[in-house]
Structure 1
Amino acid sequence: MSDEELLRRMYAARVYDVARETALQPAPLLSTRYGRPVALKREDQQPVFSFKLRGAYNKMSRLDPPQRACGVIAASAGNHAQGVALAAAKLGIHAVIVMPVTVPKVKLDAVRRIGGDSVEVVLCGNSYSEAQAEALRLQYAHSYTVVHPFDDPDVIAGQATIGLEILRQHPGPLEAVFVPVGGGGLLAGVAACIKSLRPEVKVIGVQAADSDAMARSLETGERVTLDEVGLFSDGTAVKQVGVRTYALCKRHVDAMLRVDTDAICAAIRDVFQETRSVPEPAGALALAGLKQYLTEQKAAGEQSEGALVAIVSGANMNFDQLRFVAERAEVGEQHEAVFAVTVPEQRGSFRRFCATLGDRSITEFNYRVGDARLAHIFVGVQTTGRNEREALIAAFHAQDFGVLDLTDDELAKLHLRHMVGGRSPLAQDEQLYRFEFPERPGALTRFLGHMHPDWNISLFHYRNQGADYGRILVGIQVPPDERELFQRFLETLGYPYRNESDHSAYRLLLQG
């Protein structure tokens, strides 16, 4: 497809029958942080909370009567399906939508609600590519018209209208526009539009590092097929980009960036802080890339004052993902460092460990006695960046503590942090208590400082949950003849507490 043909289709697109021109919203917090004008193109404000209805409706509105009578079929990870569903209900066209079984429930429910009687949903496969294969089988069997999520001229032209809006809304100096990429329909349309009208503006695609089909294709000079794709950014989990989208991106895209899960989570939080809306992972991809671009510029000593725009492509967030996002956002900003620290299992070691941490906020603290000589502690610490993380490692070494930096370790962050503990034959005379304390910087260190040195801590769990009060679970070894003394100590500690020593789950899973 030529650029002239795409522009002609873009100017004739009927997207505004159902879509709205979304805001190009300044991001003052990010602009102040980076010293550059940053703006967010709010496609999460669309009626289906995603840009996808532009291309889907534009395609379906141009079908001739026989095609409408036969109906359409589409494969989608969620947002394209909602666009097709809305168009089907609006135009009175029967639509079969094939979705992978991994699709978030919020998107599945939305498709059924939006499309009503016009839509039939088929769940098949674990990825978009597997759903697409089933859609092609059904298309041949029933002569449906395919509404492709990205590799169709009218779909690309519909998405290109976003680029036209950005240029109209920001006529001043503009350095770069950052675009999330799955199959490439949005990037191809926006890039072709912007490069045709304002070729000096950079167009930069952003992909999840584990779903980078477009980046690899542009690097190798041909379309590649990924064996597997990551599912966190499910809206861009595509194994192979389109023929048309690849050709357009090859002509017009200035650069591709890859971002990891932690960076996406940090960008989700940034969008929330700027807008009080919560984008889905794919919706925050572009901002994660924008931040990486600025970080790389700074590291290279480059300076520029041009404005930067990130497209927030969707907000169909699976609510259950929010816990994961909140946990990983701090690491994504280099604001949390995670360590496994080994200290001598002897009186005073915890105090020395806490003194090494100083007044830094502790985000997580997991410990279970398991060795008579050495204590292995899993700890998360709030930091200002990589330099402070390295300084903390040096401080641990200065105390002759062994330290393993787990900040970038996916296994530790996903699983091991939740598995520290278990039964221990060394936890004799253990009493289990829950404590609460006002959550403020240094509060956990002060709590540990109040713990009486005569009783050994055999279990410790703490995780900062962002609330006003911190909650701690502590196992303390108190011989029976010292229980009365220990009770008096608890009364003078000054923190609300509860004895959980007889809790059934503790006795089943943790008690030695």
Structure 2
Amino acid sequence: MPQSYLKRILNARIYDLAVETPLDAAPLISDRTNNQVLLKREDLQPVFSFKIRGAYNKLLQLSEEQRAGGVVAASAGNHAQGLALASQHLGVKATIVMPRTTPAIKVEAVKRRGAKVVLTGDTYDEAATHAKKLVEEKGMTYVPPFDDPDVIAGQGTVAMELLRQYSGPIDAVFIPVGGGGLCAGMAAYIKYVRPETKVFAVEPNDAACLKAAMDANRRVTLPQVGIFAEGVAVAQIGKETYRVLRQTIDGVITANADEMCAAIKDIFEDTRSITEPAGALSLAGLKKYVAETGCEGKTLVAIASGANTNFDRLRFISESTEIGEKREAIFAVTIPEEPGSYRKFCGLLGKRSITEFNYRFADNRDAHIFVGLQVAPDKDDRAEVVQTLEGKGYKVVDMTDNEVAKLHIRHMVGGHAPQANDEIVYRFEFPERPGALLNFLTKLAGRWNISMFHYRNHGAAFGRVLVGMQVPKKEHKQLQGLLKDLGYPYWDETDNEAYRYFLS
């Protein structure tokens, strides 16, 4: 299997457009993990992503007739930019179908390189369906973003460079996975040239299509995918990439959004460059691997795969970083509603820094406070805080991993609503585009009163929304049908402790 791709990778003549990217040391993260961590800097490509390699290699393999008919692709952004630049370089007309949730920075970059952009759907899969329709209607050649041998071989040149740049032993390489093109190409090459080097695929935990396939021993389609890391938000692993990966990788690691945000900060501190979430995914997986295995003194490589993110998204990334690094903990603490309670509570915290403190009067008995604290990056320190407070008679709930608490409650004002009878609460991810909220309200059509609403723009491809509605129990089934028809990802948070403590 790896041997069949070796020749394709060695024969990829892409360097009149793509560049050989450096393999940089990451001294700060190396010191923190007690390993030698290296970053393969694909964020330094002309399109700020490795995708230029596969797209250009694919175009070079097309016949003159195919190039004359134009090419089309579906992409959330990075493949689009790679294909647009490659097409411009070769004088080929390119049409790119992109989800409407694609960050504006990627859409504009594609247009600047002369490609025609068609925005449709909310996901890559919807865009891909439309792109293939254009192939049938207009006879253009479809250039897949990952599931194609020539594309895979182009991405595999990253591994060829890596092993040439570092001749010493490499213990493990961590590679991000969306559709699997980069990981398949790199794993095929690495396992042929240095079979002793471990290769780990890294996926977002809410878009882990490869892990699902490996667990089921067949390709599966995820019912929905998170799109925080839109560059790897793919519902099903590619057919060819899966065939390669199941024979070449040593495991799959998943990372959440907070862990990706922490990895973005790590890369910034070592390189002064800001990657996109998918670009930092492999480092998040590397850190998780070190934490779980306790390995030290190893040489570990992560692929900084891309740096195409909207500037206004950095606010959310920054807010999530401390939690992602396990350096901030969030607690709900019940204290007596009496003079001196706050001072006594703060005294128990000692010299710990308070990062957030929220409170609103509710009754004369108890006060529920929302407090953020700086802690050491391990669960033992969080547990010590809980143990200290509970030992003094306080009721404490650790909400550090509670999505509603992190994304909504900490930003909301008001308090309990005793008049909001039959209130149920849902957390949504709305596609970040004009009309998404109107579509939601139109579906509800005034059937139920909206008793609570919180939305913040995170600069991401979707908006995070918390909604309270007054819905009689006998009408819950009717509401479920409407929400399913709406098509936005949602979670029932009516029993969420953060909501119960502060808003119900």
Same structural fold, with TM-score higher than 0.5 when normalized by the shorter chain: yes
**2:73 alignment counterpart:** 74
The root-mean-square deviation of aligned C-alpha atoms, in Å, is 1.3
Q: Deviations over 1:117-160 (max 9, x none)?
A: xx110001111111001111111111111110000111000000
Larger mean CA deviation between 102-111 and 316-325 belongs to 316-325
Corresponding residue for residue 306 of structure 2? 314
1:334 corresponds, among 301, 326, 335, to 326
Q: How do 1:286-435 and structure 2 match up within 5 A?
A: 286-298=282-294, 303-384=295-376, 385-421=378-414
How do residues 273-284 of structure 1 correspond to structure 2 at under 5 angstroms? 273-284=269-280
Give the partner amino acid of 1:352: K
1:90 is displaced (CA, Å) by 0.5
Taking structure 1 as the reference length, what is the TM-score of the superposition?
0.80
Query: What's the % identity of the aligned pairs?
Result: 54
Find the residue that maps to 2:15 and give its secondary structure: helix
Residue 106 of structure 2 is matched in structure 1 by: 107
Cα distance change, pair 412–161 in 1 and its aligned pair in 2 (3 A): same
Name the residue aligned to 1:501: none
Query: Secondary structure at the residue paired with 1:25?
Result: strand
Aligned counterparts, 1:447-486, within 5 A: none
Q: SS at 1:125's partner residue?
A: coil
Q: Give the distance between the partners of 1:271 and 1:361, measured in 2 at CA.
A: 25
Give the partner amino acid of 2:88.
Answer: A
Give 1:402 shift: 1.5
Task: Find the counterpart in structure 1 of residue 151 from structure 2.
Answer: 155
Q: Which residue matches 2:132?
A: 136
**What amino acid maps onto 1:250 in structure 2?**
R
Three-state SS of the structure 2 residue aligned to 1:368 is coil
TM (normalized to structure 2)?
0.81
- Summarize the alignment of residues 6-155 of structure 1 with structure 2, pairs less than 5 Å apart: 6-113=5-112, 115-116=113-114, 119-155=115-151
Is the radius of gyration larger for structure 1 or structure 2?
1
Matches of 2:334 and 2:180 in 1, distance apart? Answer: 48
The residue number in structure 1 matching 2:496 is: none
- Contact 2:101 2:122 survives alignment (8 Å): yes
Render the CA deviation track for 1:367-401: whole Å, top value 9, x for unaligned. Answer: 11122221111111000021111111111112222
Q: Deviations over 1:286-309 (max 9, x none)?
A: 0000000000012xxxx4532000
CA distance in structure 2 between the partners assigned to 1:11 and 1:390 by the alignment:
53
Counterpart of 1:341, as a letter, is V
For residues 455-477 of structure 1, the C-alpha deviation after alignment (integer angstroms, 9 at most, x for no partner) is: xxxxxxxxxxxxxxxxxxxxxxx
Match of 2:215 in 1: 219
| Whole-Å separation in 1 of the counterparts to 2:64 and 2:256 | 46
- Tell whether 2:3 aligns with 1:4: yes
Offset, 1:359: 1.1
C-alpha offsets along residues 77-100 of structure 1, whole Å, 9 cap, x if unaligned?
000000011011111101110000
The aligned residue for residue 485 of structure 2 is: none
- Shift >6 Å, 4+ stretches: none
- How many pairs does the alignment contain? 417
Instruction: Tell me, yes or no, if the aligned pair for 1:378 and 1:420 is still in contact at 8 Å.
Output: no
Separation (CA, whole Å) in 1 of partners of 2:408 and 2:302: 32
Decide which moves more: 281-290 or 16-25. 16-25
Match of 1:191 in 2: 187
Once residues 58 and 17 of structure 1 are traced to their aligned partners in structure 2, the CA distance between those partners, rounded to angstroms, is 11
Which AA in structure 2 matches 1:414? L
Structure 1 gaps, min length 5: 426-512
Residues 129-278 of structure 1 mapped to structure 2, 5 A cutoff: 129-278=125-274
Write the distance in 2 (CA, Å) between the matches of 1:279 and 1:355.
Answer: 40
Partner SS state of residue 15, structure 1: coil
Partners of 2:44 and 2:135 in 1: CA distance? 32
- Give the unaligned 5+ runs of structure 2: 419-504
Question: Structure 2 CA distance, aligned partners of 1:84 and 1:46?
Answer: 13
